Structure 1
Amino acid sequence: MTGKCLCGEASVTIDAKPEFINDCNCSLCRKAGGAWGYFPSASVQTSGKTFSISRPDKNPPSVEIHSCETCATTTHWVLTKSFKDQNPSVDQMGVNMRLFDPDELEGVEVRFPNGKDWVGEGPFGYRRTALTISGSTPW
């Protein structure tokens, strides 16, 4: 499956649907417009020019958010070097599943973690009940 940014200059290709999608409301996810599927880095291919940013309020930040250089659509995130150095067994990328047509994501559960109120330790709370993407259930 390949998802593209608004202008079509940047794309992300994945081998399969994600197990689930997190539609988080923390400031990073909300402002970046991301709804994340998680994948091992080897199963994600990106193309096109992107720029990256990291959270200025986290020292050190855990992820770099990538966006298309032309239209600024958020495409994916990668773990920062500092995070990987501290967590060498973690191999994960986040793909913005909003790049894909909802019909391609039929059957995938969307979860709504309450990242806004999460203190950074322990599991997320959820702000609403999960839903499964289907033709009759808009996401």
Structure 2
Amino acid sequence: MSLKGRCHCGATQFAVETPPADVTSCNCSFCSKRGGLWAYYTPKTFKLLTARDRVSTYQWGHYVGQHHHCAICGCGTYSEFPDFSTGQPDFDNPRVSVNARLFEDFDLGAVPVKYINGRDDW
């Protein structure tokens, strides 16, 4: 079952191949201000349905990742990073973090939430 998501105004839309089994809540300085719940996908299972030039990008620090948001309404939509599951960036295994709060017709309350202490662990 594929899932579609969109920002508040609908200018940025995307789809993923499967619903998330769980989502992540992170308390790092960026995520805590952005307020997303993150579902992780491979680039192959994520599809941006909007023209890329309609999406704005924010990068900071070492510029390892790209945080994308709607250029019109400002909703944080998705991010692109190397896999960090081993504690080091794995550039051969990129992943897309999707703001699961933006999924349409999806019961996010039924999905387990994992908490990451990004404020102290990174």
Query: TM-score, normalised to structure 2's length?
Result: 0.79
**Does residue 117 of structure 2 align to residue 108 of structure 1?**
no
Q: Which residue of 2 aligns with 1:126?
A: none
Q: Which residue of 2 aligns with 1:50?
A: 55
Three-state SS of the structure 2 residue aligned to 1:66 is strand
CA–CA distance in 1 between the matches of 2:100 and 2:63? 22
Paired residues, what number? 111
From 35, 38, 41, the equivalent of 1:36 is 38
Query: TM-score, normalised to structure 1's length?
Result: 0.71
Which structure is higher in strand share? Answer: 2
Cα–Cα, structure 1 residues 106 and 17, in superposed 2: closer, same or farther, change >3 Å? farther
Counterpart contact for 2:6–2:104, Cα < 8 Å: no
The structure that has the greater radius of gyration is: 1
Q: Give the number of the structure with larger relative contact order, counting CA–CA contacts within 8 Å between residues 6 or more apart.
A: 2
Unaligned runs of 5+ in 2: 83-88
From 72, 75, 85, the equivalent of 1:73 is 75
Task: Note the aligned Cα RMSD (angstroms).
Answer: 2.0
Counterpart contact for 2:68–2:76, Cα < 8 Å: yes
Q: How does 1:82-97 map to 2 (within 5 A)?
A: 87-97=90-100
